[in-house]
Amino acid sequence: MKGRVLVIAGSDSGGGAGIQADIKTITALDGFAMTAVTALTAQNSLGVANVHKPPPAFVAEQIRVTLQDLGADAIKTGMMADAPIIEAAADALDALAPSIPWVIDPVMVSTARDRLLDEDAVQSMITRLIVRAAVVTPNMMEAEVLTGLAVTTPDEMAAAGKALLAMGAGAALVTGGHLEGEAICDVLVRPGGVERFESQRISTPHTHGTGCTLASAIACGLAQGLGLPDAVVRARAYVCEAIRTAPGYGGGHGPLNHAHTVKLF
């Protein structure tokens, strides 16, 4: 059931989010992960200590050599760091992957509230990536920044999703981990309508990398031929179990158990 996913995102030295979470997720779901690294972060469960960004041309070269040789069935973007890196990556994807579905996770702030995207890069995110997305997967705060709308309820999440479609996205999954209450509601907006996915909140601080993990799981599903709703259902189930069985590492927001699908004998 292999599906090739090229992930364009930042590296997390703590292993809980970013490229590390993406590779673990795609591998655990029997896909094949490839990467183009947009940033090196020095971080752990407590926060981001430092960020080092490679030249934009090098990000584009990683994309180019990977696609020209190995190909891809889906593209997933995560932390894109700044506008020049977004522009370089988008140019490469426009040239080499125009018909491959793009899953755009508009990473802006880490779980520990550290900023991961320059403020002046938001417009580039919208005009170069979101307009080409098969699906964009913002959390509620990211949806507010992208659309300028208040996003505090499931109805407002749906309105933000519709606004993202109006910007050019093929679909939008607005995630509701920041909702109040015992239930979590994610809202999928497509041209055909709105669908809500609900699950019971798991009481734990160990949620580092949930957005990266969910988006990569969706990208893997699309790469393997699943329709978007089925890819979302499988991805949510995978993330819920990864949170429920989190190993409890670190003194802050710890990582998930990405390997829960792996059976050892």
Domains in the chain (CATH in brackets) are: 4-244 (3.40.1190.20)
The reported pLDDT for the residue numbered 126 is: 96
What is the tens place of the pLDDT at every residue in 64-95? 999 999 999 999 999 999 999 999 999 999 99
Mean residue pLDDT of the chain comes to 95
What is the tens place of the pLDDT at every residue in 39-49? 999 999 999 99
Residues 6+ apart with CB under 8 A from 55: none
Residue whose structure tokens are 């209450």: 181
Q: Give me the amino acid identity at 104.
A: I
Q: Residue 174, SS3?
A: strand
What is the tens place of the pLDDT at every residue in 177-200? 888 888 899 999 999 999 999 999
User: Where does the pLDDT of residue 118 fall: very low under 50, low under 70, confident under 90, or very high at 90 and above?
Assistant: confident
Whole-model pTM: value is: 0.96
The reported pLDDT for the residue numbered 264 is: 73
The reported pLDDT for the residue numbered 112 is: 57
Which has the minimum average pLDDT: 53-67, 84-98, 106-120, 227-241?
106-120
Burial class (CB within 10 angstroms; exposed 0-12, middle 13-18, buried 19+) of 58: middle
pLDDT at residue 1 above 70? no
The reported pLDDT for the residue numbered 110 is: 64
